[in-house]
Amino acid sequence: MAGPASSCRNAMQRRLQTRSTVFSRNRIWPTGCGAPVGRSSRIGRRRAWPNPTSPPSSTRSGSGAVIRKHRHDRRIAGPLRPYERGATAMARRVLIYRQGSLGDTLVALPCFHLIEKAFPRAERRLLTNIPINGFVAPAEALLKPGGFIHGTIEYPIETRDPKALWSLWASIRAWRPDVLVYLVDQRRRSQVLRDAAFFRLCGIRRLIGVHLRTPSTPQSNPATGLWPSITEHLADGLRELGDARIGDETSWSLRLLDSEHQTAARALAPLGTDHPFVAFSIGTKWQPNDYGDGNWSAALAEIGRRFHSLGLVMIGAGNEVERSDAIAAHWPGPTVNLCGRLSPRESAAVLQRSQLFLGHDSGPMHLAASVGTRCVAVFSSRNLPGVWFPRGNGHRIFYRQIACAGCGLRVCVEQAKRCISSIPHGDVAEAAVGILSQTRIGLDLKRENHGQLDVGA
């Protein structure tokens, strides 16, 4: 025979079952409709009524969120997890942490595509550094018009100023992001722990791409001698969001606008309608990567001797105008100097029309590769081979590996840039001539010369 305590308990169970409703801050969600269960400091308080008939182990609600046993016999939803059904759609604000300049942003382009796909309805902001060089366009100018982000939060790079750090903390805290996506190059475990602690103090509950385990040492490919690219490293850190598909052309799309293509057409008008041209840039962020004005002048002179009617278009920052003009002074064909006149996306539209890109390991090189233009690029060995090479096939890369390869120096004094200085300018010119001979202008020149094309020295 059931006692009073048992009857009371059964009555309480029946009463709770009739009040099975989830309360949100401003709405009432009937259970079974797929509404999120639990609570989140960013989306509003949501709490399920306790149900003693449910099993104490972890289960899934109708929304797909994991429900866990609480010590006060309440069941609350745990932190949002992207691989849980419907969890990514619940995030309203996503903060993406990525430092660097134009090239650093471009190599992460497949990751920005993946983040947009994972959080399609969230407001996405980029946390990045203020450009080191005042002539360099910010990352927002590259990503925002394409719909990858909605805004940025900027701070001085490598700052240790308590006032600046407090201001950054206050800005992030005020925006109240639900999720952080951590897009960084290889870092020590102590640096990752420091960053994770800071973002936790900013009130961010979910950190994606923050891996506290000791990273494994990358290995080069025995067949090619190349090391994993920085894009592979970044995509591997976001594998919980899905496959970044770095080998897919669509993952590298900048989504250039019609207005940007029109601006590029107007900028190229001095060359004439559909006149073939080579794009050239002397820009580079670090001193060891600079090939030198004399080497570039000699290489351009040799290319111009073979293709005397070919146009030359110079792109880059505003402080590179005079230097670019001096290097191209002896170019025999028409020239247009667009340094400082176009945005990065408008420059991409120009590069898309180019027969070839010629330059350093730099942002313009990655910009050309992102739109499918073949590159002849000269590299120093401050990074290991393959890490920062342009994506895609058909490029000609000049890299001289010496004993100090992978030094990471920003200024090379002891070796006097021996790695890049030892690359003959004649080899660079021959590589460009070889690619150009396969293009429309090369075929036209071959017909003019009755089937012969002078590609020798």
What type of residue sits at position 292? G
Report yes or no on 365 lying in a domain.
yes
Antiparallel, parallel or unpaired: β 123-129 and 335-337: unpaired
Helices (H) and strands (E) in the chain, counts: 16, 16
Question: Of 221, 252, 283, at which residue does a domain stop?
Answer: 252
Distance CA 305, CA 307 (A): 6
Question: Of 77, 108, 123, at which residue does a domain stop?
Answer: 77
Antiparallel, parallel or unpaired: β 93-97 and 179-182: parallel
50: which residues sit within 8 A by CB, 6+ positions away? 16, 73, 74, 75
> In this predicted structure, what is the pLDDT of residue 68?
34
Residues 304 and 443 in one domain: yes
Report yes or no on 82 lying in a domain.
no
Specify the CATH number for the domain of residue 288. Answer: 3.40.50.2000
Residues 234 and 293 in one domain: no
Report yes or no on 16 lying in a domain.
no
CB 283 within 8 Å of CB 320: yes
Report yes or no on 156 lying in a domain.
yes
> In this predicted structure, what is the pLDDT of residue 55?
35
Residues 203 and 264 in one domain: no
Question: Of 227, 252, 277, at which residue does a domain stop?
Answer: 252
Residues 366 and 319 in one domain: yes
The tokens describing 365, both together, are 């090189």
The tokens describing 283, both together, are 């820009």
* pTM of model > 0.85: no
How many structural domains compose the chain? 3
> In this predicted structure, what is the pLDDT of residue 116?
96
Considering only 10-19, 55-64, 91-100, which range has the smallest mean pLDDT?
55-64
Distance CA 405, CA 438 (A): 33
CB 415 within 8 Å of CB 399: no
Q: 396, 452, 406, 401: which is closest to 429 by C-alpha?
A: 396
Sign of the alpha-carbon torsion through 380, 384, 388, 390: positive
Residues 398 and 335 in one domain: yes
CB 35 within 8 Å of CB 61: no
> In this predicted structure, what is the pLDDT of residue 7?
57
Residues 430 and 372 in one domain: yes
Provide the angle, in degrees to the nearest 10, between the axes of the packed helices 363-370 and 344-352. 50
Instruction: Encode pLDDT of 384-435 as tens digits.
Output: 999 999 999 999 999 999 999 999 899 998 888 999 999 999 999 999 999 9
Given a cut of 50, is residue 323 above it in pLDDT?
A: yes
Report yes or no on 350 lying in a domain.
yes
Residues 136 and 240 in one domain: yes
Report yes or no on 323 lying in a domain.
yes
Residues 310 and 235 in one domain: no
Report yes or no on 343 lying in a domain.
yes
**DSSP characters for 30-71?**
ETTS----S-BTTTB--BPPP-TTS-SS-EE-TTSPEEEE-T
Instruction: Encode pLDDT of 150-180 as tens digits.
Output: 999 999 887 888 999 999 999 999 999 999 9
Residues 71 and 130 in one domain: no
Report yes or no on 369 lying in a domain.
yes
Residues 230 and 340 in one domain: no
Residue with tokens 């990751």: 111
Residues 95 and 169 in one domain: yes
Residues 73 and 120 in one domain: no
By residue range, what is the domain housing residue 236? 87-252
Instruction: Encode pLDDT of 196-235 as tens digits.
Output: 999 999 999 999 999 876 556 678 888 888 999 999 999 9
Average confidence score pLDDT of the chain: 81
DSSP letter at 249 equals: G
Antiparallel, parallel or unpaired: β 335-337 and 28-30: unpaired
